[in-house]
Each structure stands twice: as C-alpha cells, then as structure tokens.
C-alpha cells in the first residue's frame, strides 16, 4: 500500500492551491505516484475534465493493444485522408491544417502512412489528423473496450478531434487525473501492455515536442527524461506523464487545469509548470528526508 | 528503357490458384449500390514486383504503381505478396488520366485506394468501377486540391470534354457524391486482350472442362466494352 499523505496542513497541497488561486483557475487537479517513495498524492483527482489532446493517450494505448492482439500491425499503411464522419450523426467534417499541431501531415493527404508513423505524429506533434485517422481505423467502441478491459475508467473516448456535431450534443472526450495516473502506472508496470509495446509507447512519449509544462517545472540540472502528453483547448490546459530521473525510480504526475474563460499558452502553461516544480521540489526534499 | 504493359503477362484469373481466385472473384456478378449486377473482370496483368510497377509506364506520365496504391484495408495476400494482379482495363484508365493531364497542363494525382482495388478490399462493399481498374479518385491537380465544389466541378467538366461518357460523381457529402476528390470512372469495363479466350466461365459453376492456359502471351487489346453508370 502506498503512503497517502494527509491532506490537511500539508505544504504541497497549500502550494498547489496557491498556484491555482494566483492563476485564477476554476479547477485544478493533481495526481502523483512516486515509485521511489511509494507515495501517492492527489487533489480533485476524480473530477472530470474535458480531455483535450490527452485523449490521444487512450488512442495510443488502444493502438498498441490492437497490435498486441494482432488486430493490426504497426507497419500497416493507412490512406491519409482529411474527411471524417461525426460520431453524433454521421455528417462529414474536415480538419483545418492551420489549427493542427502538425500541419505537415496534410501534405501527405492522398498518400499513405504507417500506423506507427501516425502514432508518433499524433503524440509528438499532437496531430489531430493522425488522431482522427487512427480513431477511424480502430473505431471508438474498440478504444472503449480496451480502456475498460485495462481498468482505465477515468479515460472516456467518444469521438475524434473537432467533431463539432458531437460537441454540440455534449459528446466530449473526458479524463480524470486519477484515470491518467492509472494509465501511466499500468503501462509502466506492464499491467496493461507487454513490455515490448510498453517500451515502444514510452519511446514515443519521450519524443514529445511540447515541453512548456511538466518538463519545464524540473531544472535542467536534474537531467530528467519525461514521457508525457499535453492537452490544451479553450478552457483547459493539461499535462500528464512520467518523470525519469537518474539514480531513482520514476514518478507519474498528472496536472489538469480548467479556466472560466477560453485561452491557451503562456501563463496557463506556466501554471502547470509551477505545479510540476512544486511536486519535483517536494519529492526531492522528501527523498532527502527519507534517506537521512 | 521503360517497361510497358507489353512486358506484362496477361492471365486468365479463372485459372489462378483458388486462394487468389477467391479474392479476385473473376466473372462473378456483384451488385452496385442500386442493386444492378455487374460481372467482375477476368483478365489481369500479372505484376511481379513493386519495382516493376514503379518502373512500368502505362502512358508517358502514368506509372502502374500510381494506380495500385492501396492501404491495409486490402486483402493481405494482394497487398503484400507478389505477383499482384490488375485488370487489363487499367491501360485505358491510364490513358484518360494522361489525356486529362495534357488538357489541364499539370500533374494529376490519384489517391491511395483510388485506383484499382480488389473485391476483397474492405471499401469494396458494392460493385464500383475501381474493382475493374476503370475508375480513379483524383485528389489533386497540380497545386489544386480537389476538396471544393468549384474544383471538383471544374475538373469534372474538363474530363467530360475528353470523353463524354466518362462518369463523374457530383460534389456533395452523401453516398454517391464526393467532397475531397474527383471520382472519374469509365464504367464497368471488361478488357479482353487479343489472344484471350473467353470460354471457360463454366469453371465458376464447378465444370472443370476448360482448357485455357492460365498464362497468356502479352498482347495488345483486341476488344473492350465500356458501360458507364
């Protein structure tokens, strides 16, 4: 059983609340599990948030489960096509290259790409086009089934990105901090994927190009490697991942934020980075105390 | 020197191994979206390797490989293993694409799954001229992406000027319409190269009396019948 820190009068909790207060968030959830200290800490970890691009973790997971069960091969090629059907009513919708984290994939429309390539661009550059292609191929019920089979109840995938008809009907992908934490723990511990696919999945997450949040809270001198996925849209800004530090076991950390008004980038990224920094400093201090 | 279809053996698919025949379904009837029945092609070019497909020019600018690109929805045997088989009508399809290229003065790009795909391809729910190698989904002409009503209609009109009987699907979002490419089809075109003998369909009904060789000498087209729909 991991140690669970008391919520009252706990300095890390106070720090996180202060960061949230200063940033004027409407909600801030944190879930932490440290393998080195066998310690679990959470704040509002069961609160449901719009997933934004963190839902891509669920699709990545389902893809590797599909590969593991030989439903697909990662070398399979898919037609790169920017045309999708809404999960709500079957209507057609298209993605906008200039609103996508990776406009390059649009240059390959009409051609093919392997599932592995699409998985990489979905995560590393947060490509919406790759996400919808993979989800179309795997299909929503399969992703749901894989999440349920792995016991990942806090991740709910109901539609692709920019499916406005589904959005209008309130069909949104959602996550909880606990759900994402459980995702990282189960994958890391090979409870949800075999070791080979776990390593492939983490290899992709290590290549993440958006590093202004969770990794930004950790000093360069720590030489951390962070396997993570960000998510930003409208009123939410998230980051979730695992932090690997030299000479110690890793920790999994999920930080989800929600704001009363729309906006992305800059200050909101810094808020998540500040929470990440607070967690890092706390674990450093706790680790030193445990050692002494 | 570039290869042409004269370098490709023509095969009677009724004489191919059962494993392949079950995928290509030569001479079988297949219903289109409206329920009309169409007989699938019987005579195919045999393509030995992907490099051969890439080297082989069907026309001065259209390589065979461009009309063979499919994704993982194709049957694995037809996707990964060689030889590949492509209906002989592919030459005529290439000709209309070449003519369109000349008319617009720009390269014409055919989408993956948008040239020939087999009846075993997961998109082949209904009879579509793609299964006859007689349709092309053109997603781009030069620098123009065909994802607007004006671009689809413009190039559709130009294609019809080349060949009035060519079938072009209208722009739209419903089945039987297109919104991200120009679907250009010659119809359910069964090409029968010279030297081919069309007897032997009885093999389909279990009569093993046919005496045709599986491999026929490469030869130019003797006849081709087109039906647009």
Set out the domains of chain A in order of their start, with CATH numbers. Answer: 1-45+176-292 (3.40.710.10), 48-172 (3.40.710.10)
pLDDT value at B203 more than 70: no
Q: Tens digits of per-residue pLDDT, B153-183?
A: 999 999 999 999 999 999 999 989 999 999 9
The predicted pLDDT at position B147 comes to: 94
The predicted pLDDT at position B218 comes to: 45
User: What are the strands, taking DSSP E only, across chain A?
Assistant: 3-4, 27-34, 39-43, 49-50, 77-79, 84-85, 92-93, 112-114, 155-156, 174-175, 225-233, 236-244, 251-258
Which residues in chain B have Cβ-Cβ distances shorter than 8 Å to A81? 111, 180
**Does A107 lie at the interface with B, CB-CB under 8 angstroms?**
no
**Does A81 lie at the interface with B, CB-CB under 8 angstroms?**
yes
**Does A6 lie at the interface with B, CB-CB under 8 angstroms?**
no
Q: What is the mean pLDDT of residues B198-217?
A: 51
The predicted pLDDT at position A216 comes to: 98
The predicted pLDDT at position B91 comes to: 96
The predicted pLDDT at position B72 comes to: 95
Burial A111-122 (b: 16+ CB within 10 A, else e): bbbbbbbbbbbb
pLDDT value at B215 more than 90: no
Q: Which has the closest alpha carbon to A29: A289, A264, A187, A231?
A: A231
pLDDT value at A289 more than 80: no
Which residues in chain B have Cβ-Cβ distances shorter than 8 Å to A73? 72
CB contact under 8 A, B180 and A77: no
Q: Tens digits of per-residue pLDDT, A132-173?
A: 999 999 999 999 999 999 999 999 999 999 999 999 999 999
CB contact under 8 A, B71 and A72: no
Helices (H) and strands (E) in chain B — how many of each?
A: 5, 13
DSSP string, B145-178: ES-SHHHHHHHHHHHHHH-TT-EEPPBSSSTT-B
H or E stretch at A68: helix A55-68
What φ, ψ does residue A137 adopt, rounded to 5°? -75, -45
Q: Tens digits of per-residue pLDDT, A130-143?
A: 999 999 999 999 99
The predicted pLDDT at position A9 comes to: 47
Question: What proportion of chain B, given as a percentage, has pLDDT over 70?
Answer: 87
As a whole number of angstroms, the distance between CA B79 and CA A124 comes to 29
Task: Compute the C-alpha angle A225/A129/A183, nearest 5°.
Answer: 40
CB contact under 8 A, A78 and B72: yes
Q: Tens digits of per-residue pLDDT, A87-125?
A: 999 999 999 999 888 889 999 999 999 999 999 999 999
CA quadruple B23, B28, B32, B38: dihedral positive or negative?
positive
- For residue A124 the two structure tokens come to 């590393």
CB contact under 8 A, B180 and A91: no
**Does A110 lie at the interface with B, CB-CB under 8 angstroms?**
yes
Q: Over the Cα atoms of chain B, what is R_g?
A: 17
The predicted pLDDT at position B201 comes to: 64
**Does A235 lie at the interface with B, CB-CB under 8 angstroms?**
no
pLDDT value at B227 more than 90: no
Which residues in chain B have Cβ-Cβ distances shorter than 8 Å to A109? 139, 145
Q: Tens digits of per-residue pLDDT, A5-53?
A: 555 547 899 999 999 999 999 999 999 999 999 999 999 999 999 999 9
pLDDT value at A250 more than 90: yes
As a whole number of angstroms, the distance between CA A214 and CA B175 comes to 46
Q: Can you state the angle between helices B90-104 and B149-162, rounded to 10 degrees?
A: 110
pLDDT band at B5 (very low <50, low <70, confident <90, very high): confident
As a whole number of angstroms, the distance between CA B226 and CA B229 comes to 10
The predicted pLDDT at position A283 comes to: 95
Interface confidence, given as ipTM, is 0.84
**Does A89 lie at the interface with B, CB-CB under 8 angstroms?**
no
Q: Which has the closest alpha carbon to A287: A257, A259, A248?
A: A248
**Nearest CB to A81 within list B72, B110, B180:** B180
Task: Output the average pLDDT for chain B.
Answer: 89
pLDDT value at B223 more than 60: no
The predicted pLDDT at position A2 comes to: 60
């Amino acid at each position: 059983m991991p140690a669970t820190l008391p919520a009252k009068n706990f300095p890390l909790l106070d720090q996180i609340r202060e960061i949230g207060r200063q940033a004027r968030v409407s909600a801030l959830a944190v879930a932490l599990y440290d393998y080195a200290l066998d310690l679990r800490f959470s704040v509002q970890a069961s609160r449901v948030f719009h997933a934004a691009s963190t839902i891509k973790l669920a699709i990545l997971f389902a893809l590797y489960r599909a590969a593991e069960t030989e439903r697909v091969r990662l070398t399979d090629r898919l037609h790169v096509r920017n045309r999708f059907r809404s999960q709500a009513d079957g209507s057609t919708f298209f993605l906008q290259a200039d609103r996508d984290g990776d406009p390059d994939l649009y240059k390959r429309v009409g051609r093919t790409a392997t599932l592995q390539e699409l998985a990489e661009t979905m995560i590393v550059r947060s490509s919406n086009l790759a996400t919808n292609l993979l989800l179309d191929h795997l299909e929503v019920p399969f992703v749901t089934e894989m999440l349920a089979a792995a016991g990942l109840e806090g991740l709910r995938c109901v539609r692709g990105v920019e499916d406005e008809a589904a959005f209008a009907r309130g069909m949104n992908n959602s996550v909880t901090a606990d759900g994402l934490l459980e995702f990282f723990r189960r994958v890391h511990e090979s409870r949800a994927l075999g070791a080979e696919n776990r390593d492939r999945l983490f290899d992709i997450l290590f290549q993440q190009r958006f590093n202004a949040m969770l990794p930004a809270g950790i000093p360069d001198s720590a030489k951390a490697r962070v396997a993570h996925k960000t998510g930003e849209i409208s009123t939410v800004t998230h980051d979730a991942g695992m932090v690997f530090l030299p000479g110690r076991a890793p920790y999994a950390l999920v930080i989800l934020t929600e704001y009363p008004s729309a906006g992305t980038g800059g200050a909101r990224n810094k808020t998540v980075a500040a929470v990440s920094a607070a967690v890092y400093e706390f674990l450093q201090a706790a680790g030193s105390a445990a050692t002494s | 020197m570039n290869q042409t279809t004269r370098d490709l053996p023509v095969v009677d698919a009724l004489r191919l191994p059962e494993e392949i025949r079950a995928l290509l379904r030569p001479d079988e009837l297949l219903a289109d979206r409206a329920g009309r029945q169409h007989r699938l092609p019987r005579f195919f070019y045999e393509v030995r390797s992907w490099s051969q497909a890439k080297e082989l020019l069907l026309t001065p600018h259209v390589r065979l490989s461009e009309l063979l690109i499919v994704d993982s929805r194709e049957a694995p045997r037809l996707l990964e293993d060689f030889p590949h088989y492509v209906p002989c009508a592919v030459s005529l399809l290439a000709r209309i694409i070449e003519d369109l290229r000349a008319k617009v003065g720009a390269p014409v790009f055919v989408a993956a799954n948008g040239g020939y795909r087999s009846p075993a391809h997961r998109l082949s729910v209904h009879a579509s001229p793609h299964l006859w190698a007689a349709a092309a989904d053109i997603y781009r002409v030069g620098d123009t992406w065909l994802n607007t009503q004006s671009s689809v209609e413009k190039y559709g009109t130009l294609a019809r000027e080349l060949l009035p009987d060519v079938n072009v699907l209208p722009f739209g979002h419903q089945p039987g319409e297109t919104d991200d490419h120009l679907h250009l089809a010659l119809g359910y075109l069964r090409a029968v190269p010279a030297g081919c003998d069309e007897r032997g369909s009885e093999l389909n009904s279990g009569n093993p009396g046919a005496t045709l060789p599986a491999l026929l000498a490469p030869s130019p087209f003797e006849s081709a019948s087109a039906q647009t729909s």
